[in-house]
Chain A
């Protein structure tokens, strides 16, 4: 029982991170109907910027945790957002209206490029980060096992929750969100009505990248290590989360992320840790077979 609870906490933490990344996939899919394969790498870049900024702050002597965390978050969000913007400008925008495979190939090219760019610039070795936020609360004390929730886990969950609420508000109640939803429905009509579709799409990429940056900061703190390869698997899992929740649906991405985090944690705990990625992938295929629209997605009606 205690073990179960502990895995629940771990799974929710992991799921929060996946959910943040999954939103980027789902928003881009919603607005331009493509899978942004480079999104996992954007998250990896966010994590790297976090590690580098933390290290610089440590050297210049800013070690008060709340301040350091705030600075790192801001720096990582800004620069990663800029990366998201640049990727869209270079690799996707010129391809609108090109043939079907072109944006996908371009995206996979971008993903390969970014991965190797970071590898060359920062080296292939794993980058460690000193634990900064220690300790936690013991929730329950069992005979052999006690359930704890660390402060860091609490921060991750609180942060994700706050971002999700803020984000839902942004999409449902601001002009930007309205423009975004309009472009999702009919980009041509939206631009005829004065919505700047190009700018809205750019902003979508930036927002996705900003959320991925937050996920990157959290992960670098949580695991204490990053390397240039983390974006690949995290991207795959977050995409699975987006599909499970129903691609194109924001609440779906959040729900899917949490579910994938839980599945991964419980699978690792009760079955085998080696095959946790296989389990997640199997879910992707099973969802695609039985419910391609996901849990909260709406069926696409193709116009002919």
Chain B
């Protein structure tokens, strides 16, 4: 059996006395959309931050397998997780470079590739032609994602001037410009209207089907999750309480209890968890 794209094993994260994530294990696969859901404070964003390297997990192993090479994410600094293991992410509160243009945002995302092409600046400084070619290719890639996210017309506008939905799309386009194998999205549908939400679903399916990129997303909006996910993981109080296809999860009594509050007779079910 092939290795999953991302394997999370026994992930635990403590802040002082608080256990935000408690012994969570799951897999995410290439060409699949994996959703992590759960009520507020369930530890979803913490799981994300551990995967993206913003926190160092207290216990646990995070293995990403790219080209049959395993990368142990918990041992890598954040920028290597993005640069070497190729995990890209977006943020719950959008983090663009607001004073730079939309296009520049996408070019910055291709930094490491362009750095090498510019001979770590030295060759680029003297106008080495190889750099010009690399830059043109970078612009082509940027344009590809601009077209997919409907931002081509505003490519030369400052990112901060885009409307909210545009900024969300730009953040995804920017993450995709790093050519990731795993794309982590932190509540991508938050604040979007139904139409934008539907467009987002189309975009995510496109990324999954055409690029075979694994997508890991945190989402509150159950309609988004149930429509596009291949695989759903439910967290509650830092523990995993369910793991399976949307249909299985939807009918899981523990999940219903976690979301709707527990009916009196389900205390027994909770006890099992």
Q: Say if the beta carbon of B3 comes within 8 Å of chain A.
A: no
Q: Say if the beta carbon of A165 comes within 8 Å of chain B.
A: no
Q: Say if the beta carbon of A304 comes within 8 Å of chain B.
A: yes
Chain A 2-14 interface 0/1 with B at a Cβ cutoff of 8 Å (1 = within): 0000000000000
Describe B's contact surface by its main secondary structure. loop
What total count of A-B pairs have CB within 8 Å? Answer: 7
**A302 contacts which chain B residues (CB < 8 A)?**
54
Chain A 267-304 interface 0/1 with B at a Cβ cutoff of 8 Å (1 = within): 00000000000000000000000000000000001101
Q: How far is the CA of A301 from the CA of B92 in the complex (A)?
A: 17
Name which residue of chain B comes closest to A99, CB basis. B99
**A301 contacts which chain B residues (CB < 8 A)?**
15
Q: How far is the CA of A304 from the CA of B49 in the complex (A)?
A: 8
**B95 contacts which chain A residues (CB < 8 A)?**
304
Give min CB distance, A186 to chain B, whole Å.
15
Q: What would 7 A/B residue contacts be, using CB atoms closer than 8 Å?
A: A301-B15, A302-B54, A304-B49, A304-B54, A304-B91, A304-B92, A304-B95
Interface residues of B toward A: which range?
under 10
Give min CB distance, A195 to chain B, whole Å.
24
Give min CB distance, A277 to chain B, whole Å.
35
Give min CB distance, B184 to chain A, whole Å.
12
**A304 contacts which chain B residues (CB < 8 A)?**
49, 54, 91-92, 95
Interface residues of A toward B: which range?
under 10
Q: How far is the CA of A304 from the CA of B93 in the complex (A)?
A: 8
**B54 contacts which chain A residues (CB < 8 A)?**
302, 304
Q: How far is the CA of A302 from the CA of B54 in the complex (A)?
A: 9
Task: Give residues of chain B (92-125) contacting chain A, Cβ–Cβ below 8 Å.
Answer: 92, 95
Task: Give residues of chain B (42-57) contacting chain A, Cβ–Cβ below 8 Å.
Answer: 49, 54
Q: How far is the CA of A304 from the CA of B54 in the complex (A)?
A: 8
Chain B 51-93 interface 0/1 with A at a Cβ cutoff of 8 Å (1 = within): 0001000000000000000000000000000000000000110
Which 7 pairs of residues, A with B, have the shortest CB-CB distance? A304-B54, A304-B91, A304-B49, A301-B15, A302-B54, A304-B92, A304-B95
**B15 contacts which chain A residues (CB < 8 A)?**
301
Q: How far is the CA of A301 from the CA of B15 in the complex (A)?
A: 9
**B92 contacts which chain A residues (CB < 8 A)?**
304
Name which residue of chain B comes closest to A304, CB basis. B54
Give min CB distance, A263 to chain B, whole Å.
32
Give min CB distance, B188 to chain A, whole Å.
15
Q: How far is the CA of A302 from the CA of B49 in the complex (A)?
A: 11
Q: How far is the CA of A301 from the CA of B54 in the complex (A)?
A: 10
Q: How far is the CA of A302 from the CA of B15 in the complex (A)?
A: 12
Name which residue of chain A comes closest to B55, CB basis. A301
Which of B49, B91, B95 has the most chain A CB within a 10 Å cutoff?
B49
Q: How far is the CA of A304 from the CA of B91 in the complex (A)?
A: 7
Give min CB distance, B41 to chain A, whole Å.
14
Give min CB distance, B171 to chain A, whole Å.
13
Q: How far is the CA of A166 from the CA of B54 in the complex (A)?
A: 40
Give min CB distance, A297 to chain B, whole Å.
14
Q: How far is the CA of A302 from the CA of B56 in the complex (A)?
A: 13
Q: How far is the CA of A304 from the CA of B90 in the complex (A)?
A: 10
Q: How far is the CA of A304 from the CA of B48 in the complex (A)?
A: 10
Give min CB distance, B78 to chain A, whole Å.
10
Q: How far is the CA of A302 from the CA of B91 in the complex (A)?
A: 13
Q: How far is the CA of A302 from the CA of B95 in the complex (A)?
A: 14
Q: How far is the CA of A213 from the CA of B62 in the complex (A)?
A: 54
